[in-house]
Structure 1
Amino acid sequence: MAAEKSQRLAVLIDADNTQASIIDGLLSEIAKYGVASVRRIYGDWTSPLLKGWKEILLEHSIQPIQQFGYTKGKNATDSAMIIDAMDLLYTGKFDGFCIVSSDSDFTKLASRIRESGLFVFGFGEKKTPSPFVSACDKFIYIEVLRARVNENEAIKRKSSAELKNDTRLVRLLRNAVDASSDEEGWAHLATVGSNIAKQSPEFDPRNYGYAKLGELVNATKLFDLEERVLADGQSKSIYLRDKREKRKKNIT
């Protein structure tokens, strides 16, 4: 399922598990997928720990939801977010949800929203437990958003050798190309990207230091890339093929 920019999204932020410094990158990223019709952030606003968030809420039209920590060691914020999310889900007014947290407590919520046919975007740190990541349609690591707004935190670009040695990445790319390819082994880059997203919600070329999927694929040096002119004579599209396919054909 591809997200359209016209989609209405509900953005729910766990202030206890998210730093205010990522807000610009977060909202810019969300704008790629749709319109943030609802923007809510949850936490105990009497706590000095949320001072950073207090200073930017009005600027970005984010509604703070007060949730006192009634019991030490228990996160009441999560419960409030989950209840609100279900209320919003039942209105039937939204096409998707953006859950901003690194907390595994939202795993069941993400699964429930997806069961209702809505798209779920997750945002959290790389320490986010894998069950929550897998429960989302797409998961974006906050480290990528920090790098987007702060050059000093830019993710180091991995070399071709490093990419080739990443067996999980290589397997993911090859499986996606194989699943999307024609009889000659060529696959449309956009289709490959969609296939990867279905297999791995957290996949993002920016995690490897590359802005686009095509740049990452090219850097692996494991695929042939071909730019083709479409029927209109103006638009161009990129196709790729596993280099092993070419060797197979030469042998036969």
Structure 2
Amino acid sequence: MENSDRLAVLIDADNAQPSIVDGLLSEIANFGTASVKRIYGDWTSPGLKGWKEVLLEHSIQPMQQFAYTKGKNATDSAMIIDAMDLLYTNNFNGFCIVSSDSDFTKLASRIRESGLLVYGFGEKKTPAPFVSACDKFIYTEVLRAKSDESAAIVKKSSSELKKDTKLIRLLRDAVNTASDDSGWAHLGPVGSTIAKQSPDFDPRNYGYGKLGELVAATTLFDIESRQIGSTNSKALVVRDKRHK
């Protein structure tokens, strides 16, 4: 079923690369409709030339913000002011903030306080406070890999995944939380639990397209495909191999 959420997309041109635009808009379409698409920067700067070339093609509205003084990021302030204006219209279900700048941490928190969803998009260098302030955070390296095969993220092996104690703990805790008395858990609730605990979790960060593929690759879980009730549909269920 198509998601009908109305989203406001705000892009910090100083902290995002034009090479992500195709993957970015494709990703946003999974969450809803980009009713507003704005990008902020000093368009007199030659450094934004790459963005200028893709704005018309994707109907992204450039918002001019002159850099009045050195060392002060006027773009951030303009984005924050516009975001609050859009928030008060009550026309949106969520916001997409595209930046790797921690200055948007408070903005993300404020929007969520109003009951709206916040999707963050930034590079892996994005400070943890901004990542945690979002409902969902997607690293733009994943988006770049979507449109550029040379930027594809290398798939991690089973041994590499097992060494990632943070990942393994996250998966095991989520399975345990969503499981029944027999230890089996449906993959859907497992994914929902992970999303609540770790906004930046994404199987694609490890080179896998889906959660089930990542879980299977760790070789630490039993996985079965089971029929749902009397229907012909099937769903994946998982169980920690340590369960007795």
* TM-score bracket for this pair, using the shorter chain length: over 0.9
Of 214, 224, 227, 2:225 maps to 227
Give the equivalent residue in structure 2 for 1:59.
57
Taking the aligned partners of 2:86 and 2:224, their CA distance within structure 1 comes to 45
Residue 117 of structure 1 corresponds to 115
The one-letter amino acid paired with 2:115 is G
Residue of 68, 81, 87 corresponding to 1:70: 68
In structure 1, distance between residues paired with 2:44 and 2:153: 35
In structure 1, distance between residues paired with 2:207 and 2:76: 32
Please tell me whether residue 151 in structure 1 is matched to residue 149 in structure 2: yes
2:132 counterpart residue number: 134
3-state SS of paired residue (1:55): helix
Q: What's the CA shift string for 1:125-174, capped at 9, x where partnerless?
A: 00000000000000000000011111101000000000011000000000
Equivalent in the alignment of 1:195: 193
Q: CA deviation at 1:56?
A: 1.0
Unaligned runs of 5+ residues in structure 2 are: none
RMSD: 1.0
**Other structure's SS at 2:188 match:** helix
Displacement of 1:230 in angstroms is 1.2
CA distance in 1 between counterparts of 2:225 and 2:234 reads 7
Kindly, what percent of the aligned residue pairs are identical?
Answer: 77
SS at match of 2:68: coil
- After superposing on structure 2, the runs of 4+ consecutive aligned residues of structure 1 that deviate more than 4 Å are none
The amino acid across from 1:193 in the alignment is G
Which shifted more, 223-232 or 32-41?
223-232
Task: Give 1:92's aligned residue.
Answer: 90
Partner of 2:17: 19
Q: Give the structure-1-normalised TM-score.
A: 0.95
Other-structure match for 1:240: 238
Offset of residue 92 of structure 1 = 0.5
Deviation at 1:178, TM superposition (A): 0.6
Deviation digits for residues 29-54 of structure 1 (CA, Å, limit 9, x no counterpart): 00001000000000000111101111
Paired residue for 2:171? 173
Q: Return the offset for 1:120.
A: 0.3
Matched, 1:6 2:17: no
Partner of 2:35, secondary structure, is strand
Corresponding residue of 1:215: 213
Aligned-partner Cα distance in 1 for 2:150–2:180: 42
Unmatched tracts of structure 1, length 5 or more: none
How much does 1:114 deviate? Answer: 0.5
C-alpha separation in 2, matches of 1:171 and 1:22: 31
Number of aligned positions between the proteins: 244
Query: Cα deviations across residues 183-230 of structure 1 (Å, max 9, x unaligned)?
Result: 101111010000000000000000000000000000000100010111
